[in-house]
Structure 1
Amino acid sequence: MTFKRYKSMPLRWNSIHAKLLATYLVLIGLGTFLLGGYLLWSFYMFFMKMKQAELEIWTTNFTQDVTEAIRKNNIVKIDALVRRYGAPDTITLRIFSANGHLLATSAPDIDRQVKNWSDIPGMKIALSNQTVNGVAKGVLSDEDRLYTVRPIIENGRRVGIIRMSFTLGQFQRQFRSLWITILATVLLTFVLCAFISACLANSLAQPILAMRNFAVRLGNGHLGEKLNILRKDELGQLADELNRMSELLASVDRKRRTFLANVSHELRTPVSNVKVTLEALERGAISEPELCDRFIQTAQQEINRLSRLVQDLLYLGSVEAGVTPLEKQSVSIRSLINRAVQTMELRTFPLRLKIDNDIPDLQLQVDSERLLQALLNILENAIKYSRYPPKIAISGYIAGNQMLIKITDSGMGISQEDLSHIFEEFYRSDSSRHSEGTGLGLAISKRLVELHGGKITADSVVGQGTTITICLPIINE
């Protein structure tokens, strides 16, 4: 089942969509308005510096022309120079004497109303023989003007003062128009970026919301569904991992259900047999000694079978849960296999079964008791299904950084259909349906070998026998 790719949800202020969008909008708004403000400020400062430099150049050039006229007190020439350099609408030029009295001006109608020139911005500083630049209101108006006041120095002595000012009205009107243009551009940029951010936030938030909903459905038991998010970034990788987890959980759930069904089936048979036996004894079979002994023997066999099944289940559960960690130590594999063969002698002697052992003397880091249990389970299966003349061969060799142990029997073999399932819990092939055992031996062996970082495989030819191969890593410590 494929889970719906995106599930639309209302935008809430505490949702990741809203938080992402808010973050983008704040960053975009801050960035665009800071950039617009910086552009306006840079343009303003550039213009002011440019005009200030022009004023300084003009006053410098004018100083060279007017100095001689001031020294000779030629008011006519001074007035002619002021009228030539000054412009009534934009540039106002004033010439003062050394003590600050007005000698000539390009704006006589305004300047004749001024009583005290020392209060005009820049004049006091110029009277201390310092040049000053700045912005101030007009002499008798509220118009902003850029001004320069420069003392005229000759032979180290102040002979006069020049004050030139430039009106900023036209510039301010142009700057206001520019400010509106930049503001409109910034707002348009913000709107476009906000739209792009909303799309980006939605593209990031919707897959996350879809994965959240998918995880909730997994938690509610809808296992095996698939999340369809086609992305190649980290979100796509996370979606792939969620799909893999969903498949894994579905597989585990199927195995759990199968395991529970198998356990129920395996437990039902011995319990039913014991129940039937007890009922028969209760109905009067106990009064017949021969029948009573047979029923009691049957009940004991079923109870022993039930006991082995419970013990194997408990052992398998403890192995899979990792309750008892491996106690690894350096162990001789040859000695361990010899020990397993000796343990099975009581089973092999009555059958006159021969076990050939050709294992190299190699030390491995293993838990000897756990690995011995795995070997015993495999040998028990091999003995159980060996045919006449019974023979089991155990061989081993080193392949790279692995130790391979092969256990081959002379049994009837296993079909290819059954071979891929023999390590599953309670699985039995058709040829072993009526044999004794719990069906957990090879499953336990597989778990024990995997705990050692190895793997176990099986090869079989029907009518010739079966070979179980154990691969164990060689770890040099």
Structure 2
Amino acid sequence: MSTTDLLHIAPWAALSCLVSISLLWLLLRVLKDRPFWSLAVLVAVPLLSALGFVVAISGFMFTPQLGWTLVTCLLIGVMLGPGTVWIGQQFARRVLEVETRRAEERARDQVRRELVAWVSHDLRTPLAGIRAMAEALEDEVVSEPADVSEYGARISRETARLGGMVDDLFELSLINSGALHLVPEPLPLDALAREAATGLGPLATARQVGLEVRVDPLVCQGSGKEVERVVHNLLINAVRHTSAGETVSVTGGRDGDSVWLSVTDGCGGIPASDLPRVFDVGFRGTAARSPEAEPLGAGAGLGLAIARGLITAQSGELHVHNVPGGCCFRLSLPAA
């Protein structure tokens, strides 16, 4: 190849490279959120630029040699097409998987930070009370037998409360890490609701709250201990936060391949701004719905987070919405 030929080819080669790079830069910016099409552009643009370069150096004269060159480029494009599509799909799938894992990691980190904040705040109060009462007993500030007995009982109650919080934290960590192992089996959901209501009868009577269960026979697929805990949690929350003279109603039914159970209370409703956060770890809102607190008051803010985690781990759902005079918690599980 002579110097004249090189001088003839060089400008067209430079122009082809410039056009190719410019198109790649522009198209990749436009398609930055579409990995499949970005990969297709990376293959197609250089091929088309090379084809334009060949046509240009031929003087735009369609000779037989140019025809064979065009056919060759076309065949290369046809052969690269399916491979490009497959590679693009795999690349897009992997990018999506990576982004999903990153989002899950960020969510887990957020939960861990919330748990650390919760532990540092909520465990200090009962620990401080226990320490103060223990020091009072040790220094004999309290010496009367009745007072000593009362302090001992209070220390016992606070210790039991702390134990319950630690157990809840452990279970919540199992749920969030995916390490909770459940054994699903056919469960009579209606019977679980009636048993929970029977056990809470004395509390409902003391609170002057009605408690009625209207559920036809329902059989779900779930883990007995965990489902029983969720049902009990929902019922005791409803009883404790329903005004005197109101009624807590439990209903249920079947909807396609799932069965559902609803607990409707007379708490006056949950503020609309709080509804999306009811199941967040440590969230109490303006009217805490946790059974741990005694007397009735703000609890640990873990009960509903655990309840949703347990139901979700069994391919179920747990939601809440306001109804006239109160709110309704509805859980659904696969039908047996």
Q: So what's the TM-score if we normalise by structure 1?
A: 0.49
Q: 2:143 — aligned with what?
A: 287
**Counterparts in 2 of 1:439 and 1:232: CA distance versus 1, 3 Å:** closer
**Counterparts in 2 of 1:330 and 1:182: CA distance versus 1, 3 Å:** farther
Please give the residue correspondences for 1:29-428 in structure 2 after superposition, counting only pairs within 5 Å.
195=17, 199=21, 230-234=32-36, 237=92, 246=102, 248-351=104-207, 353-428=209-284
1: CA distance, partners of 2:259 / 2:157:
40
Kept after mapping to 2: 8 A contact 1:392/1:408: yes
2:311 maps to which of 432, 449, 458: 449
1: CA distance, partners of 2:297 / 2:266:
17
Q: Secondary structure at the match of 2:211?
A: strand
* Runs of 4 or more above 6 Å deviation: 238-241
Kept after mapping to 1: 8 A contact 2:265/2:328: yes
Kept after mapping to 2: 8 A contact 1:308/1:438: no
Shift of 1:349: 5.0
Shift of 1:367: 1.7
Q: Which has the higher contact order (CA 8 A, sep 6+)?
A: 2
Give unpaired runs (5+ residues) of structure 1.
1-178, 208-226
**Counterparts in 2 of 1:293 and 1:363: CA distance versus 1, 3 Å:** closer
**Counterparts in 2 of 1:228 and 1:275: CA distance versus 1, 3 Å:** farther
Shift of 1:264: 1.4
Specify which structure has the higher proportion of strand. 1
Shift of 1:466: 1.8
Summarize deviations over 1:199-243 as a string: whole Å, max 9, x none.
49x96xxx9xxxxxxxxxxxxxxxxxxx99725333865667666
Shift of 1:456: 1.2
Q: 1:13 — aligned with what?
A: none
Q: Secondary structure at the match of 1:406?
A: strand
1:471 aligns with 2:327: no
1: CA distance, partners of 2:30 / 2:109:
22
Give unpaired runs (5+ residues) of structure 2.
39-91
1: CA distance, partners of 2:97 / 2:150:
59
What one-letter code is carried by the residue in structure 2 that aligns with 1:444?
A: I
What count of residue pairs does the alignment treat as equivalent? 275
What one-letter code is carried by the residue in structure 1 that aligns with 2:159?
A: I
Q: Which moved more, 1:341-350 or 1:400-409?
A: 341-350
What one-letter code is carried by the residue in structure 2 that aligns with 1:438?
A: A
Kept after mapping to 1: 8 A contact 2:126/2:162: yes
Q: Secondary structure at the match of 1:453?
A: coil
1:439 maps to which of 294, 301, 305: 301
Coordinate RMSD, CA, aligned: 3.8
Q: So what's the TM-score if we normalise by structure 2?
A: 0.68
1: CA distance, partners of 2:241 / 2:193:
20
**Counterparts in 2 of 1:341 and 1:186: CA distance versus 1, 3 Å:** farther
Between the aligned residues of both structures, percent identity stands at: 22
Specify which structure has the higher proportion of helix. 2
